[in-house]
Amino acid sequence: MVVENKARIFKVLKTPVDTQESLPPVVKDVLGYEFFTFEDETPLELDPAYGEKYAQDYNRKVGKLAWEIAQLLKKLKTDTGKLEAGTGAVEETHDQQTTVKPTIYLAECSYDRKETREVLEGALRRHGYTVLPEEYLPQDEAGYVAAVERLLERCQLSIHLVGKNFGAVPDGPSQKSVTVLQNELAVQKSKRGSLPRVIWLPEGTQSEQASQKAFIEALHQNAEVQFGADLITGDIEDLKTSIYGTLKKLENPEPKQPEEQAADAERAKLIYLICNEKDRKATVPVRKFFRDQGFEVAIPAFEGEATVVREAHQQLMTACDAVMLFYGAGDEAWKRTIDNELKKMPGYRAGKPLLASSTFLAAPKTSDKEDLIDMAEPNLINGLGDSSEAEMTAFIQAMKPNGATP
């Protein structure tokens, strides 16, 4: 039913339907091709009888539908040919790697920007880009936020189209629209250094709805709301220019200039020493040791609002050159939580390599720590015994050019 995240079902909607109730599961989650529009909150089919504009919209949507059916048929034919020829998975993987393009999150928008979104989506797909989302998202706020977060993790660019209407509001406590929620989630990912953004807010866009009016004002005035974004106030051609310019940079990044490379080489490497708040004092000898070796050392923020503390943690995960987990006062559950966080690091770092990663065992002794020693856990520094010096030296060597001895 699905080929590379693209459904083999094409759902055409002549009029609005309750997709949650009227359609079978295999169909209801697929995004549909809507051959209708709203006028004074009344749905009207795209019928030439209603005027030339309706005829043009009908022809445009038929063209979009025909193109996407043709592309899928070509994909199915190509895959079938490979199977019949017995070319094997290795060649297919090679083809995919040589044609890979950035995945784009094209944010859901209010109805007054829907036509522009459809035009933009079609243009991006014709150029070979994967555009998300490709299915209906949950209607409750918690489910919606979780789904958008998952999709953003797959993307290298997010695009947000802002209009005069507030947009749909998922069922939940914040009563924020999908436009606002998606922008907030994209800001969070952008702060981790891995998501350039483009926001389209044409000059003169105004709203009579208080919530949308406040959001539009914030986009113009609040650096936090437009964090990491190129705010486009021109027409759709200006928007396309910005999008394709950003995509070109993503696909063909400019090599660093010699002076930038030299600056990187001279910059002191940063070690993120992750520890429990109770271990702040116990980490002092380790931090001094690293500082004496010429490294910068940072530990987590422990005070402040939960959101701010979390953002500081993610920024350090993004910026650090190496990470060391100081396993002392924290219990086994705390250790497992941090291990899961470390597994997410590649998503924060946009391809930036991590020079070294180790776990430092510190007092008190526990069954879990002894088990790590007995199992010879990789990259383990046993600070409970007398053998940590050689292990610390190995960690330092990994941080220095060509493994130079400190």
Q: Tokens in use for 49?
A: 């009888």
| CA–CA dist 201, 273 (Å, integer) | 42
Mean pLDDT for 143-149 is 93
Q: Tokens in use for 81?
A: 């040919």
Q: Supply the DSSP string of 12-59, one letter for each residue.
A: EESS---HHHHS-HHHHTBPEEE-EEEETTEEEE--GGG-HHHHHHHH
Q: Which residue has the tokens 């693209």?
A: 6
Mean pLDDT for 220-229 is 85
E-strand ranges in 238-385 read 270-274, 296-298, 322-327, 356-361, 380-382
| CA–CA dist 124, 113 (Å, integer) | 17
Mean pLDDT for 387-405 is 72
Q: Which residue has the tokens 């995509």?
A: 247
Q: Tokens in use for 369?
A: 């720590």
Between 180 and 16, name the one with better pLDDT: 180
| CA–CA dist 30, 9 (Å, integer) | 8
**pLDDT tens string 19-51:** 556 777 767 767 678 888 877 778 888 888 888
| CA–CA dist 158, 192 (Å, integer) | 14
| Nearest to 341, CA basis, from 308, 313, 364, 322 | 313
Task: Using the predicted structure, report yes or no on whether residue 358 has a pLDDT greater than 60.
Answer: yes
**pLDDT tens string 299-311:** 999 988 777 788 7
Task: Using the predicted structure, report yes or no on whether residue 263 has a pLDDT greater than 60.
Answer: no
Q: 382 by DSSP, 3-state: which?
A: strand
| Nearest to 239, CA basis, from 129, 157, 116, 64 | 116
Task: Using the predicted structure, report yes or no on whether residue 350 has a pLDDT greater than 90.
Answer: no
Task: Using the predicted structure, report yes or no on whether residue 71 has a pLDDT greater than 90.
Answer: no
All domains in the chain, ordered by first residue: 1-98 (no CATH), 101-254 (3.40.50.10140), 258-403 (3.40.50.10140)
pTM over 0.85: no
| CA–CA dist 183, 200 (Å, integer) | 12
Query: Given this model, what pLDDT does residue 89 score?
Result: 44
**pLDDT tens string 163-203:** 999 999 999 999 999 999 999 999 998 887 678 999 999 99
Between 400 and 155, name the one with better pLDDT: 155
- CA angle 364/368/374 to nearest 5° reads 105
| CA–CA dist 128, 71 (Å, integer) | 10
The percent of residues in the chain predicted with pLDDT above 70, rounded, is: 84
Query: Given this model, what pLDDT does residue 139 score?
Result: 87
DSSP-derived secondary structure letter, 354: P
Query: Given this model, what pLDDT does residue 393 score?
Result: 85
Cα four-point dihedral sign 274, 280, 283, 289: positive
Query: Given this model, what pLDDT does residue 405 score?
Result: 41
Query: Given this model, what pLDDT does residue 97 score?
Result: 41
Residue 78 banded pLDDT, cuts 50, 70, 90: confident
